[in-house]
Amino acid sequence: MGYLFTFIIVLLLLVLLKVTVNVVPQQYAYVIERLGKFHTVWEAGLRFRIPLIDHIAKKVLLKEQVADFAPQPVITKDNVTMQIDSVVYFKIFDPELYAYGVQNPIMAMENLTATTLRNIIGDMDLDETLTSRETINSQMLNTIDSATDPWGIKVTRVELKNIQPPAAIREAMEKQMKAEREKRAAILTAEGEKQSMILEAQGKKESAVLAAEATKEKEIKEAEGKAEAIRQVQQATADGLKAIKEAGADEAVLKLKSLEAFAQAADGQATKIIVPSDIAGIAGIVEALKDTTVSTKESKKK
């Protein structure tokens, strides 16, 4: 009988210990009510409560959470009905407000997100809706975050997950995109052909310029060579005349040299011979030289 009584006492103590001692996990908060009224918020750690008086009203997760809401039908400014689903990232910053601020906070936030989305999209046309995701996200974040502050919820980010226009609109958009791609392809092809023709023309132009410059350079070199040859001949002639003059030759000798040059020209391959106008004078000089030679020979004989 004594063992049974001891067992009952131990069992009661264990039950009482389990009821009065609680361990709050990390990133959780417990909302405690005492006699039906809010008493305190337990943070992570070992906690004790009074049995039958203290009550855990709500266990609140403090981590950042994600609420993926179902697609909502919205109507644009130009009367196009679309299905848009959104994703909301949020954290609970006040467990007391979260527990007592609103009934079913997640559902309340979902309805708030849907109405806010309809209001924003209703002021935009279809094209603006499809190209203004960042603007829509920002407006929704500001509106929802302000509205959920009394519920102890901090909205950190809002994203439009998917935008689904009607099937007819999607088909028209696909045709438009196909036409745009074909147009861009045709433009790129034309630009390529134009660039190719321009490059080919430039190549021909540069080739012609280089050929003209080469011909010009060749003619200049040939002219310079001829001029140099003439200059050297003239220089040689001038040097010869200068040598004859320095040797003391008189006018008769110079004319005789001219006659020799005339004889050499006549003996060459030329088909035309130009006779100097003073050929008679040169002949007289030759005759005088001949007489002088004869007189010299006769004198020697005597």
Task: Please name each of the domains of the chain with its CATH number.
Answer: 17-61 (no CATH), 65-165 (3.30.479.30), 250-302 (no CATH)
pLDDT of 300: 47
pLDDT of residue 260: 58
Q: Between residues 63 and 251, which one has the greater pLDDT?
A: 63
Asked if residues 65 and 90 have their Cβ atoms less than 8 Å apart, the reply is: yes
3-state secondary structure of 195: helix
- Binning the chain into helix, strand and coil, the percentages to the nearest 5 are 60, 20, 20
The whole model's pTM is what?
A: 0.54
Q: How far is CA 30 from CA 60, 104, 164, 267, in A?
A: 6, 17, 41, 137
pLDDT recorded at residue 293: 46
- Give the range among 8-17, 64-73, 140-149 with minimum mean pLDDT: 8-17
The predicted-structure confidence for 99-130, as pLDDT tens digits, reads as follows 998 889 999 999 999 999 999 998 888 888 88
